[in-house]
Amino acid sequence: MKKWIWSTKIICLAMLVMLSGELAAQQGLKDLSGYIPDMDEIPGWKLIGIPESYRGDNLFMMINGGAELFHEYEFVQALRASFSTVNENTITVELYEMKDAVSAYGIYSYKTSAYEISVPIGQEARLEDYYLMFWKGHFLITVVGQDSDQKNIEDIKTIARFVEFRILQSGDRPQLTELILKDPSTITNTKYIRGFLGLMSGYAFDTKNIFQVREGMMGNVGDCQFFVFQYMDDLESISAFKSAVSSLQKSPRFTNNGIHKNLYQMTDRENKLVLINQIGRYISIVIGIKRNEVEKILVLLNVKLK
Amino acid sequence: MTMCINRRSFIKQSAILGVSTILASSSVELIGNMALADTPIDIAAVEGLDYYKSTLHAVEMLGGMHRFVTRQSRVGLLINSPWQNPGCYTKPEIALAAIQMCYEAGAKEVGVIKSVNNSYWRKSAISDRFQDEIKSTRFIGNNFVEIPITDGQSLKKAEISKGLLDCDILINLPIAKHHDGVRYTGALKNMMGGQSRNTHRFFHFSTGDSGYYDDLEFLSQCIADLNFVRKPDLIILDGTEMITENGPFGPGRLVTPHKVVAGTDRVAMDVYGANLLGLKGEELLTTRKAYELGMGEIHLSALRIQEAML
């Protein structure tokens, strides 16, 4: 009986929330506090103080050295709210509004990994031992607890679902992501990147952005790592390829360098083969130990890109 | 994160251990029976679930806090505290142990160079026992002065907290954790906690054509150069529970070596700390550049490292 009453309450509340959210959207309101549960809306949890808002460069005040990455993905504004129980257990919710759904998906893909468990919240969600992240529309949401016990995880999910209900609009993943992930796919751990910091998290080709990356994907196929960078057109891609090759030829990090037309190869310090291919408006790169696997994956990627 | 015990029960367990330690004896008595080596060691690493006790033990292995803190001295602490997520901040138990040891060694005053909120102390269940110490550690980092960095390669001047410059003894209390930009943050990078926001922006944006930094060489060099400002007298590094991704603010996957590491060589400490995260510390740009500037040893094999388990 109690469960039924509780479910009914949740549904009614969700409807109210959707209506109020819609009203807020119609009025063009930008106050993110409307997306989080209010005082006493989550049984057993109370909102602590006033939620903190951050816009533009002020994100630095919230996450300091982490702000640059968010700006790389075109951050707009954020809100942080904390909830606590009588036992002083806390859960913190952070909403990050990005420029568009592509940016929101991008930062989500960057900050999550295949190690986490996929859960059906928002457009995609991942659950770790003590936190959950999801994206929906223009938003990345993190819900972080202080504990990994089952009750805490359930509360994290409940709060996440509250926020999810209040975000009315969904959005599309980047076209490049769809292109790379279209079937048949053995690709895992993909991340959509929007610049140098994202790229550096995957592989250090150089300490500078020698590929002039502004949009790309990276991930794994088996034991190999891959990258695809997308440019405005063929000319820009060719220019980036030539410029990067010029830097890589001088780099002490790589040996066995060789180039044939639009294919460059080298070996890194871990004795991995690196194949770099300029193809149309893209540059595709595969890194791995076994040459036949690296070549096979490069062909697979290039088929997707044609 | 594979945890045998959950976070809350772990914190409770640590708290009980910490409190029992305090009740049972002072820090000096606690470690009075330890068999210390005759020759000084470079790095002391203590593994255990009671971080307060591990901190006492690690510093004692180096020769005790009285080796670093003289009577009537003013001590400045640089604590990496302003983060909320697990594995992102130096554990309060470590900072509390450092404060207590400073006072026991005869410090006249202990201040914090980067402001520390009350919410930080509340993250530790043993904070209640240290209310007097917490109240006495005032914020000393609110005024900045511009100073030249004559030997800097990329950083020629910086706005530095007067508290960092003026204190008699500087103790750096970083956490070893992931950082999205420079891959790792520890002792060298924590010194940025003593600089102004203007200087911080210079580090990140000065060569960025895109408006955001895309030159890690420059950023890493600035971090190394900044360390010309002042060498910490002691570093106590949190290697207990740290994020391995999404740094510096998380949340992210955790590793839990449960180690408190003490030493004075900032380069070696960062190499050791990075290794705890599974990185090759000697290959990090910041450690390499600091090593090239003669700030410390990058080869751990050249140092005397003592590890203990509580």
Full pLDDT tens readout for chain A, 306 residues? 455 555 555 554 444 444 444 444 444 447 999 999 887 788 889 999 999 999 988 888 888 778 889 999 999 999 999 999 988 789 999 999 999 999 999 999 999 988 889 999 999 999 999 999 999 999 999 999 987 889 889 999 999 999 999 999 999 999 999 999 987 678 999 999 999 889 988 998 998 899 999 999 999 999 999 999 999 999 999 999 999 999 999 999 999 999 999 999 999 989 999 999 999 999 999 999 999 999 999 999 999 998
How far apart, in whole angstroms, are the C-alpha atoms of residue B111 and residue B78?
Answer: 9
Query: How high is the pLDDT of residue A42?
Result: 87
Neighbouring residues of A76: CB distance < 8 A, sequence distance ≥ 6: A55, A56, A97, A98, A99, A138
pLDDT in the model for residue B245: 93
pLDDT score of B15: 47
**Which of A89, A144, A209 has its CB closest to that of B214?**
A209
Residue ranges in chain B whose pLDDT is less than 50: 1-5, 8-12, 14-37, 208, 210
Q: Provide the token pair at A12.
A: 């009614």
Tokens linked to B260: 């408190």
Please give the pLDDT value at position B28.
36
How confident is the model at residue B227, as a pLDDT? 98
Residue B23, pLDDT score: 36
Contact A128 B84 (CB under 8 A): no
- β partners of residue A94: A80, A142
Per-residue model confidence (pLDDT) at position A17: 42
Which residue among B1, B8, B212 places its CB closest to the CB of A68? B212
Among B residues 112-171, those touching chain A with beta carbons less than 8 Å apart: none
> In the prediction, which pLDDT does B18 show?
45
User: Strand locations in A68-109, DSSP E?
Assistant: 75-84, 90-98
Amino acid at A156: I
- How distant is the Cα of A11 from the closest Cα of chain B, in angstroms? 30
User: Among residues 36-65 of chain B, which lie with CB inside 8 Å of chain A?
Assistant: none
Instruction: Kindly give, in sequence order, each residue whose CB lies less than 8 Å from that of residue B41, ignoring residues fewer than 6 positions away.
Output: B61, B62, B304, B305, B306
CA distance B246 to B237: 20
Q: What value of ipTM does the predicted structure carry? A: 0.79
